[in-house]
Amino acid sequence: MENASRPFVHINCASSLDGRIALPGGRRIVLSSPWDKRRVHLLRQRYGAVLVGVGTVLSDDPKLHVNPHHTGGSTRPLTRVILDSSLRTPPGARLFSYPGEVLIYCAPEAEGAEEELRRAGARLTEVPRGEGGVDLKAVLEDLRRRGVEALLVEGGSRVISSFLKEHLFDLLTIFVSPVVIGSQEAPSLCILPSPTEPAELHLEGAEIVEGGVLLTLRP
């Protein structure tokens, strides 16, 4: 689906069989197989831009880079996009250690470590507030103006939920690991506003791959 006002948006994530993406309390668990890790780095290489919420930065301190080990030796600078309404991103986060832009979208009244983040290399952009954070449409429109044509959205659950709820995506892939976490306290794949508002998707493919099943869905 082409949309001149925003990039092509591909949501990608890994979950357990019971739809959880982390352990209780948000503690990290590796759900991707080696095959899926390679796939994710190839997607980053292909799109050149990846988006996460500040919650993922705080809990996982991800590198958000393209690892040449998974891409046959090739790599490219990756644009890292962080949704951070209150500027809670640590200036010492690992994502600042790799080539490529770091774009942080915050709310107008944000009072975080603005100068420290700029010194770390971040470009800060104020956008209007949206439900539960910043206005996603404003973020995507700004990214498109910056020349971003395709965007990989990697989470966490609140970010994925917002993109699903606002129908701001073109493709969703889920690597399902044969693991049951079994706790209602564990973060789920997405948190929609109520069970009376289901997000209906079209299943395009279900493939048995190394270490799990890859689901491909579209709006």
In the chain, pLDDT over 90 holds for what percent of residues?
75
Return the SS3 of 42: helix
pLDDT value for 119: 96
**Owner of token pair 């739809």:** 19
State in Å, rounded, how far the first CA of the chain is from the last one: 10
Average pLDDT over residues 65-71: 92
Using one digit for the tens of pLDDT, what is the confidence trace for 146-180?
A: 999 999 999 889 999 999 989 999 999 999 999 99
Quote the CA–CA distance of 122 and 100 in Å, as a whole number: 10
Average pLDDT over residues 189-201: 70
Average pLDDT over residues 47-53: 97
Quote the CA–CA distance of 134 and 142 in Å, as a whole number: 13
Cβ–Cβ < 8 Å for 148, 79: yes
Quote the CA–CA distance of 4 and 145 in Å, as a whole number: 10
Predicted TM-score (pTM) of this structure: 0.93
pLDDT value for 73: 87
* CB count in 10 Å sphere of residue 60: 17
Cβ–Cβ < 8 Å for 176, 203: no
What Rg value do the Cα atoms of the chain yield, rounded? 17
Flag whether pLDDT at 1 surpasses 60. no
pLDDT value for 193: 59
pLDDT value for 120: 96
Average pLDDT, the chain: 92
Flag whether pLDDT at 194 surpasses 60. no
Distances in whole angstroms, Cα of residue 65 to Cα of each of 42, 68, 76, 215, 218? 11, 9, 9, 24, 26
**Residue 197 binned pLDDT confidence (cut-offs 50, 70, 90):** low
141-145 long-range CB contacts below 8 Å, 24 or more apart?
141/5, 141/6, 142/105, 143/6, 143/7, 143/49, 143/81, 143/103, 144/4, 144/5, 144/6, 144/7
- Could you tell me the fold of the domain covering 8-211? Dihydrofolate Reductase, subunit A (3.40.430)
Residue-range domain boundaries for the chain = 8-211
DSSP string, 125-146: EE--EETTEE-HHHHHHHHHHT
Using one digit for the tens of pLDDT, what is the confidence trace for 88-100?
A: 999 999 999 999 9
Average pLDDT over residues 77-96: 96
CB-count exposure of residue 108 (10 Å: 0-12, 13-18, 19+):
exposed
> Which range among 41-55, 81-95, 159-173, 185-199 shows the weakest confidence by mean pLDDT?
185-199
Quote the CA–CA distance of 16 and 24 in Å, as a whole number: 13
pLDDT value for 74: 80
pLDDT value for 184: 85
Quote the CA–CA distance of 38 and 51 in Å, as a whole number: 18
pLDDT value for 10: 98
Q: Show the tokens assigned to 173.
A: 């892939």
